[in-house]
Amino acid sequence: MAHIEPATEADLAAITIQLGRVPRGLLGVAARCGSPVHGQDATDTEGQGVVAGSSHQDANFRTAPQADLVSTAGADFKSHPRDTGATPQAEDAGSLRPVDADFGTSPRDTGATPHSHPAVIATAPRLPNGEPFPTFYYLTCPEAVAACSRLEAAGVMREAEALLHDPNHPEIAAGYQRAHEAYLQDRNASLTTGEAVPEIANISAGGMPNRVKCFHAILGHRLAAGPGVNPIGDWLLDRLAGEGLWSPETCAWEMGETADEAPPENPPSD
């Protein structure tokens, strides 16, 4: 299970620049650049953060109202500034809510480096406006987004599709199916008792379990869930690092930079 940390004010400032605004429905940070990749240690430390599916998850996810997890200018993922030509600016510190106080916890010590920033955020399966949102793990790091876009533009998704359907390696397809199921399990674990989002009940992200549709979503899952969960995600991260395009350990994105392209918006159906 992936570990979801409450977003700090510094995280919210970074996400504001990465996406243009802090999205409504934000649950927390699922992976970072500049520090160890999350997902390898599914333990909760003194109530600091959330382990999806743990006995603590309801209280940690829902202590603060959704409105308290966004900046005063927050919205969903629509109208990205890079679609409009606008230049995103960080909110004033006073306009960002003290998320750690709202959750009643202190953010986990992530061993942050000067370049540490959110790489993947977790979003609510249903946004405050009622819209279902299947992409639970949403890639935000601009350098990672741009690197995935470069591979997609080069036609590398065809290679991933070939791996997925290679009759000599059925274990890849089987692992991808399990990754799909793990994604659904993580997303469902974020819901409180009695909640449901039937519109996306069997829809994960990135084309899972039968297609490779979006490298951004696949990489987001890989970074959040850790190694050995999504075989295409493992392959993709190795490919990005091997070609010198991007890795979470060496990513040097800084707050003053923006990505060339916004993360994709996955609709509720394929």
Average pLDDT, the chain: 75
d(CA 172, CA 236): 13
pLDDT at 195: 92
- Residue 209 corresponds to which tokens in the numbers above? 């379990």
Q: With contact defined as beta carbons under 8 Å apart, do 138 and 145 qualify?
A: no
Q: Which domain holds residue 77?
A: 3-242
Residue 189: pLDDT over 80: yes
pLDDT digit string, tens, across residues 208-221: 999 999 999 999 99
Q: Report if residue 214 sits inside a domain.
A: yes
Q: How many other C-beta atoms are found inside a 10 Å radius of the C-beta of residue 95?
A: 13
Q: Which residues are registered as beta bridge partners of 3?
A: 51
> Which residues, including other chains, have CB under 8 Å from residue 189's CB and lie 6 or more apart?
1, 52, 53, 57
| Run of H or E including 186 | helix 170-189
Q: Report if residue 165 sits inside a domain.
A: yes
SS3 160: helix
Inter-axis angle of helices 215-225 and 142-153, to 10 degrees?
130
Closest CA relative to residue 102, chosen from 67, 126, 74? 67
Number of domains in the chain: 1
pLDDT at 155: 98
Q: Report if residue 84 sits inside a domain.
A: yes
Q: Report if residue 66 sits inside a domain.
A: yes
d(CA 172, CA 149): 23
Given pLDDT bands bounded at 50, 70 and 90, which one contains residue 99?
very low
Q: Report if residue 269 sits inside a domain.
A: no
pLDDT at 1: 60
- Higher per-residue pLDDT: 88 or 220: 220
Where is average pLDDT lowest: 32-46, 123-137, 190-204, 229-243?
32-46
Q: Report if residue 257 sits inside a domain.
A: no
Q: Which residues are registered as beta bridge partners of 51?
A: 3
Closest CA relative to residue 36, chosen from 96, 94, 95, 110? 110
Q: What share of the chain is helix, strand, coil (3-state, %, to 5)?
A: 35, 10, 50
Residue 19: pLDDT over 60: yes
State the chain's maximal CA–CA distance in angstroms.
57
d(CA 44, CA 89): 33
Q: Report if residue 63 sits inside a domain.
A: yes
- For 101-136, b/e burial (b = at least 16 CB within 10 A) is eebebebbebeeeebbbbbbbbbbbbbbeeebbbbb
Q: Report if residue 211 sits inside a domain.
A: yes
